[in-house]
Amino acid sequence: MTGGFLALVLHCFPAAPPEPTGLQKGDELTFIGTVEEAVDRAGARFRRSQKLEIRVLVLEKKDAWVDVAVLTLLRRKSDAVAGAVGAVTGGGMDKPAPPGARLDLLRVHADGSAHHLHPVGPPPLTFDAKTPARTLPAVSLDTFSPFEFGVFPPRAPRAAPNEPWTVASTDPNRPAEVWQTQDTDTVAAERCTILVVNQQHERWAKPIGGRSAWHRADAVWVSALDGTARKVHRVIKHRDGLATDLAAWVEVKYELKYKSRVIGRTFDRYRCDVETAFAVSTDLGPFLADAVKHGPKFFETRAQKLDAYLEQADASSPYREAVLAVRRQLDAARRGESVTAPPLSNNLKNRPAWPEPNQPAPDFTAGTFRLSENRNKPVLLVFFKPGDELTDLALAVADALHQKDGTRLAVVPLTVRGDVAAGTKDRDRRKLTVPIYDGTQAETAYGIESVPRFVVIDGRGVVKWTFTGVGAETGSLARSQLDRLLISASPGVASGTIAPSGPQSGRTPPRP
């Protein structure tokens, strides 16, 4: 491990970066890097180094988003050493262990936010506005996650691109991430804006003895061409309050090495591997935890079908590793080994929780509206389903509040399980004027299961009140909450979706 600092000094940079042109269908980005981990606690000391490879393939391109496959591969650095020793001692070349492989399907929105995709059914998979989506898991703090999504950083709010902004963690038990535009740099002949993020445990500065406190710091070099990373450097450190030295740390570094456009039959072969791996893993996932119960024949049948696919598939496809990872899962299950999670993303079934009062409100974009760009004033979100029997009353409440205080607060009706045109038709039929927004992204971020639902968010991006359903009292309850916020509103609150949590250090502590 090398010494030194990862300097992440938050300061203003005068020029906003140009709007990226975005990824295109068939774009493939290959990143190469390393993962280093260490633990230095009594009774638990180890160090581990792994080679990291990340491949991103754009499957579909729409006006508001791109759908991508992300293949994360981890290889132990020690494999090459073991092989060389075997050759010298006469034991022969050891066969390198297969890489740890993880395939994820993501939807990356125009504002930089990303969600897991879970298309249903056998290939060819369908990618459209109705494809099920989930929030991304938070970065693992104790070890390297089997997935890596740092390639897709959030975009700065357009209203204040050079000021720090905050992004709610997808783990409700963690504080918000504090992002900042730091500087510009050139990576592989491309102009990049450097974004830095700091996130830390509330007791990082003064850990309690025997209790782990952590600090995470990332630097991301973001291309001005497509808004994705060209280089990422992350350091996560742990203290336990028992000693001045670090108790553990994880360092992840990777950089773009190749970028190309995959077309024609080559793209079709790559995509076929991606969709086959995902579909087979989806089918296999529910049976892995209790493999003995289903017996070897159950898994042998599936393995034979996958072997037939592998025999006729292109052996040179880099996404074959995802298929082979599922094949190894089948072998393990056939032997009766219980597997807690498949190597792909489809085992992530939990939807995000509906936010409770005093929790940060997840950021989202709905057409021209972005939550983080409406700071310093209250926001009312109204989730409704076009054509539902309760829609008229929900829209009437939203419109009345919009008419009363539309210049001092934002009233945002969001369509759920229906398009904006249908929601606008419902509004026009009632001769209302409140704008209607596409709630596709917000529905995923807020874990909407039933409608209508109401959320009041203060000027710092914190949820202050929620209500499920709608009745005669809903309008007065919402108005009371909003009036209270309007009275207490004051200028000068920091930008972002939530206020920074705890003291924010401009520089990370030195690495060990």
Same domain, 300 and 386: no
> How many whole angstroms separate alpha carbon 153 and alpha carbon 135?
14
Residue 112, in any domain of the structure: yes
Residue 2, in any domain of the structure: no
> How many whole angstroms separate alpha carbon 33 and alpha carbon 339?
28
Total number of domains constituting the chain: 3
- What is the number of other CB atoms lying within 10 angstroms of the CB of residue 200? 22
> How many whole angstroms separate alpha carbon 322 and alpha carbon 304?
17
Q: How far is CA 446 from CA 74, 272, 345, 386, in A?
A: 32, 32, 20, 18
Where a domain ends, among 218, 241, 261?
261
Asked if 31 and 256 count as a contact pair (C-beta separation under 8 A), the reply is yes
Residue 359, in any domain of the structure: no
CATH number for 404: 3.40.30.10
> How many whole angstroms separate alpha carbon 17 and alpha carbon 161?
8
Same domain, 123 and 242: yes
Same domain, 136 and 209: yes
- What is the number of other CB atoms lying within 10 angstroms of the CB of residue 354? 16
- Alpha-helix residue ranges (DSSP H) falling in 15-93: 78-89
> How many whole angstroms separate alpha carbon 83 and alpha carbon 324?
22
Same domain, 178 and 38: yes
Same domain, 372 and 340: no
Same domain, 298 and 243: no
Asked if 381 and 397 count as a contact pair (C-beta separation under 8 A), the reply is no
Residue 9, in any domain of the structure: no
Residue 214, in any domain of the structure: yes
**Closest alpha carbon to 159 in 390, 411, 448, 377:** 377
- What is the number of other CB atoms lying within 10 angstroms of the CB of residue 504? 15
Classify 330 as helix, strand or coil. helix
Q: Which residues contact 39 (CB under 8 A, 6 or more apart)?
A: 45, 46, 247, 248
**Closest alpha carbon to 450 in 469, 463, 426:** 469
Res 31: pLDDT = 98
Q: Which residues contact 77 (CB under 8 A, 6 or more apart)?
A: 34, 49, 50, 51
Res 398: pLDDT = 96
Ordered DSSP codes for 446-507: HT--SS-EEEEE-TTSBEEEEEES--TTHHHHHHHHHHHHHHH--S-PPSSSS---S---SS
Asked if 414 and 366 count as a contact pair (C-beta separation under 8 A), the reply is yes
**Which structural domain range is residue 96 located in?**
27-261
> How many whole angstroms separate alpha carbon 508 and alpha carbon 489?
34
Q: How far is CA 323 from CA 28, 77, 156, 263, 328, in A?
A: 18, 23, 37, 21, 9
CATH number for 79: 2.30.230
Res 423: pLDDT = 94
Q: 150-188: b or e for each residue (b if 16 or more CB lie within 10 Å)?
A: bbbbbbbbeebbbbbbbbbbbeeebbbbbbbbbeeeebe
Class of residue 264 by CB neighbours under 10 A (exposed 0-12, middle 13-18, buried 19+): exposed
> How many whole angstroms separate alpha carbon 53 and alpha carbon 122?
27
Classify 294 as helix, strand or coil. helix
Same domain, 257 and 274: no
> How many whole angstroms separate alpha carbon 106 and alpha carbon 102?
13
Same domain, 289 and 373: no
Same domain, 235 and 286: no
Q: pLDDT tens across 20-65, in order?
A: 568 999 999 999 999 999 988 777 788 889 999 999 999 999 988 9
> How many whole angstroms separate alpha carbon 294 and alpha carbon 336?
9
Longest distance between any two alpha carbons in the chain, whole Å: 86
Give the tokens for residue 22: 């975005």
Classify 159 as helix, strand or coil. coil
Same domain, 256 and 194: yes
Residue 21, in any domain of the structure: no
Where a domain ends, among 261, 284, 309?
261
Low-confidence ranges of the chain (pLDDT < 70): 1-21, 78-95, 338-352, 489-512
State the Cα torsion 444-446-448-451 to the nearest 10°: -130
Same domain, 287 and 254: no
Residue 494, in any domain of the structure: no
What letter would DSSP give residue 93?
P
Res 352: pLDDT = 66
Give the tokens for residue 91: 């034991």
Helices 391-405, 420-429: axis angle to 10 degrees equals 80
Same domain, 402 and 324: no
Pairing between β-strand 437-438 and β-strand 410-415 as defined by DSSP bridges: parallel
Residue 328, in any domain of the structure: yes
What letter would DSSP give residue 152?
S
